[in-house]
Amino acid sequence: MDSKIAMRTLLVLSLMLTLINYVETMVIPALPKIEDQFSTTATTVAWVTSAYLIVGAVASPIFGKLGDRYGKKKIYLISIVFYSIAVLLAGFSPNIYFLIGARAIQGLGYATFPLAIAIITDLFPKERVAWAQGILSATLALGPALGLLIGSYIVQDLGWPYAFHTAFILSIILLLISIKYIPEIPEKTKEKIDYIGATLLMVGVVAFLVYLSNGPSDGWTTLTQLTLLAISAISLALFIPFERKAIEPLMKLDLFKVRNIMVANIAGLISGAAMFLMYIGLTYYAQLPQPYGLGLSIISTGLLMAPVALSIMIVGPIVGRLINNIGPKPLLIMGSIISMIGFLMLDTFRSTEIQVLFGALVASIGVISIVIPLVNMVAVALPEEQRGIGIGMNTLIRTIGSSIGPVIATVYMDSYTAWIIYVFNNQYLPLASVPSSTAFNYIYITAIGLMLVNLIISLATRNYVIKRLKQQQTSAHV
């Protein structure tokens, strides 16, 4: 494939992924405002993020397999069409449930990431794949940086619906550019799609997250809650044997026998949960009134978190290059340790904006040092015809973790609360209930525990060095 075509494709894909991550992140600082506007709870609002991620998780392997079967460009464009329609609908949401539904449809656009990775893997020579993947992965930071900077101004000055309105216009423009400039990638398989497996997995995950969401308000052992837990357990229990017997399963569980695939998927689940634990926790803490939080506006919250996203954008390509030189194992270990230090900083020191900024910077750099090697590990470990489904499966598992993160964070915030007290004529009047310091302590302690588990899992990685593999292949051909 011509290098100019490959680079042009990389640029177009990067712009689309940047937009998708922009929209995803600009929603986060607006969550408290959406909660107030629709007079709902933090756990309900958390589904604005979780619904998008859950559908995106299930859609990723399905669209990855569809791309292998019908052509990656065709399926990529279909996902953008669904995404654009959903963004349009979200901007006109009359209530919280309509918004959650629109965000769920938006999740189909999340499948563009594994498809983009698969397209790039097909177009670029093997020695440059890690670099190109690093560029695409950097959109996980560039998009949030724009979402936190530009999006926060739009949300505060015009209202959160206008963030969706502007994103819709941009998505249509990028759709037309993608139609013209992304090359056709021939289909490689004729596999069927595992819709039953997808349904079982989605029912299991959604039921479990609803159980977590309703726990603080409904209790953990009521009949309704136990029913949800039973539905989740039964669905997931049926999913595993069904996938083992299916000729063409949604998740090829046999791939877990490959050591690096197992590590990549478990680490993806853990890092996804930890990242969104931090994002949701920081968003609410930044906007809570002092002394319960930092008392920042939406714009100030965006300005506080934007350097975190920008630092990830810088670190992403560097990590991509390091994979070629030292392999993924040292990066996974280093990322786990750095993340633990960052979350410990947030747990211990967060009384000022500078303290929060530095803790979040350290934690985010650690997490991105984990996420980028995971994609490369999957791509290298699998044959060409299985890359789409393999990357899709990894994205599914990582995104399930991401969908769990917001729910866990809001469960802590709804379970551990304090009252804002107003003193009038020597009388103490409770005005509102807000998350207490204990809630945020548990959020970051949980994140530290997750990263400790990730560190242990990372030790099982079978390391490889791309440059060395390339030299060995060249010598073999000679």
Band (pLDDT 50/70/90 cuts) for residue 336 is very high
CATH number, domain of 251, equals 1.20.1250.20
Of 212, 245, 278, the last residue of a domain is 245
- Do both 182 and 300 map to the same domain? yes
- The pLDDT, as a whole number, for residue 101 is 92
- Pair (409, 443) in one structural domain: yes
Q: Which of 45-49, 89-93, 126-130 has the lowest mean pLDDT?
A: 126-130
Same domain, 224 and 277: no
Structure tokens at 201: 């997995």
**Domain shared by 319 and 399, yes or no:** yes
Least confident span in 76-85, 119-128, 280-289, 402-411:
119-128
- Mean confidence (pLDDT) of the chain: 83
Residues 49 and 94 in one domain: yes
Last residue of a domain, one of 245, 278, 313: 245
Residue 339 burial by Cβ neighbours in a 10 Å radius (0-12, 13-18, 19+): buried
Q: Does residue 216 share a domain with residue 289?
A: no
Of 203, 224, 245, which residue constitutes the final position of a domain? 245
pLDDT at 266 over 90: yes
Peptide bond into 330 cis (omega under 30): no
Q: What pLDDT, in 10s, does the model give residues 450-473?
A: 999 999 999 999 898 876 555 555
Alpha-carbon span 396 to 40, nearest angstrom: 29
Is 155 found in the same domain as 222?
no
Residue 82 and residue 181 share a domain: yes
Task: Give the Å distances, CA to CA, from 8 to 1, 96, 120, 181, 471.
Answer: 12, 39, 11, 7, 28
pLDDT at 265 over 80: yes
Q: Which of 10-14, 276-280, 468-472 has the lowest mean pLDDT?
A: 468-472
pTM over 0.85: no
- Tell me, yes or no, whether 187 and 209 share the same domain: no
Average pLDDT over residues 8-27: 86
Tell me: do 309 and 381 sit in the same domain: yes
Does residue 477 surpass a pLDDT of 50? no
Residues 126 and 228 in one domain: no
Domain of 55 in residue numbering reads as 3-194+246-477
Looking at the structure of the chain, the number of domains it has is 2
Give yes or no: residues 238 and 317 share one domain: no
Position 478 scores a pLDDT of 45
pLDDT band at 439 (very low <50, low <70, confident <90, very high): very high
